[in-house]
Amino acid sequence: QPMIDSEPTSLGQTPLPASMRIVSALKLLGGVAEKALVLGRAEEAERILQQVLFDLRGRAREGVSFDAQTLETGAKLGARLAGATLKPSWVTYCFELYVSVGRPLPAPAVDELYNVVRKVKGVDPKSLRGYVAVLRAEQASFGPADKFLLQRLEGLQQLL
C-alpha cells in the first residue's frame, strides 16, 4: 500500500510532510527517552523511540534526505538503546540507517558502538560488512575525517 507523505490536520492547517514530522518527533521524544535512559528505564526509552527511529530508517531507505543532525541523533539514540537494552537489533539499526546515505556514522555514534559491541551478544556481522562495503565504494569522495571513521568502522568488524 502506498505511503502517505502527509497526514490531514484539523482546522485547515497545512499538513507537515512525513519527513518533517519525523524530525520534530525525534527532537521531542529523544529528550524524553534520554531522561528514561539516565533513570535506567531502557524498555521505556525503547518504547518511546522505536516507531520514530523505524520511520527515520524507512524514509532514509526510500531516499528521503534528512539533515546530518537528525541522522546523527537517530544513530546515537540507536546505539544508546543497544547498550541499554543489550539488543543486537539496535546495533544493526545504526548500520542500516547510514548505509542508506552512504556516509560513515558520526564519531560519537562510532564511539558509543565500540563500547556497546563488547556488551551486546549476537550482533550479525553481515550488517556491518555490508555497510563497510558500501563505504569503501564511496571512499574516493571522503575527506580525511570520513576516511578515519571508515577505518574505525573496519576496526569495529574485528570486535564482532
pLDDT digits (tens, 9 = 90+) for 19-68: 899 999 999 999 999 999 999 999 999 999 999 999 999 999 999 999 99
| pLDDT score, position 6 | 43
Global pTM value: 0.86
Average pLDDT of span 81-103:
96
| pLDDT score, position 157 | 92
Q: Do 84 and 45 form a contact (C-beta atoms < 8 A)?
A: yes
Q: Do 144 and 113 form a contact (C-beta atoms < 8 A)?
A: no
Whether residue 78 is predicted with pLDDT greater than 80 in this model: the reply is yes
Average pLDDT of span 102-128:
94
Q: Is 102 left (phi over 0), alpha (psi -120 to 50) or beta?
A: left
Average pLDDT of span 77-100:
96
Enclosing H/E stretch for 58: helix 42-61
